[in-house]
Structure 1
Amino acid sequence: MEKLITRKEAAEILGISIATLDAARNNGLISYVQYVQNGCVYFTSAGLQEYIAKCTHRAKPAEKNATYRRPRRAGV
């Protein structure tokens, strides 16, 4: 059986607050284990990895014209 991770440990692993973790859990973004209704909530390392994968975004290539300034005209 996989080791269950407490809310505090999961928040520390993810680098987020417990409130943010609870919000993600309530919004269905992260899976959790709860044996009894209104009981303790636990997470698995696989559930944390899935959450990290959902929150990971690919880097976008930089645009060539990343400035708002217009290019200078020659001779002006």
Structure 2
Amino acid sequence: MEKLFTRKEAAKILGISIATLDTARNNGLISYVQYVQNGCVYFTDASLQEYIAKFTHRAKPVEKCATYRKARSAGA
């Protein structure tokens, strides 16, 4: 059986607060396991990896200008 993580463990692995984790769960951004209604909530390693992949973005290259001056507007 796959290891299940508690809310506290999952939040620590993701580097977010428990409140942020609960918000993501309530908004359907992360999948979870709950055996009984109003019972404890658990997360699988696959669901944590899926959440990380969903919110990982590529870095955009910085555009470098030849000078520090801003370009003039067309109306001037």
Give the shorter-chain TM-score range: 0.7 to 0.9
Residues in 2 aligned to 1:38 and 1:66: alpha-carbon distance in whole angstroms: 60
Shift of 1:65: 2.5
Percent of residue pairs bearing the same amino acid type: 86
Residues in 1 aligned to 2:21 and 2:68: alpha-carbon distance in whole angstroms: 38
Where structure 2 has 5 or more consecutive residues not aligned to the other structure, the ranges are 72-76
1:11 corresponds to 2:11: yes
The list of structure 1 runs, each at least 4 consecutive aligned residues, that deviate by more than 4 angstroms after superposition, is none
Q: Deviations over 1:17-73 (max 9, x none)?
A: 0000000000111000001111100000110000000110011111123986237xx
Q: TM-score, normalised by structure 1?
A: 0.85
* Residues 1-76 of structure 1: pairs in structure 2 closer than 5 A: 1-65=1-65, 69-70=69-70
Question: For residues 66 and 7 of structure 1, do their structure 2 counterparts lie closer, same or farther at Cα, with a shift above 3 Å needed?
Answer: farther
Residues in 2 aligned to 1:66 and 1:31: alpha-carbon distance in whole angstroms: 48
Q: TM-score, normalised by structure 2?
A: 0.85
Where structure 1 has 5 or more consecutive residues not aligned to the other structure, the ranges are 72-76
- The two structures, once aligned, show a CA RMSD in angstroms of 1.9
Question: For residues 67 and 54 of structure 1, do their structure 2 counterparts lie closer, same or farther at Cα, with a shift above 3 Å needed?
Answer: farther
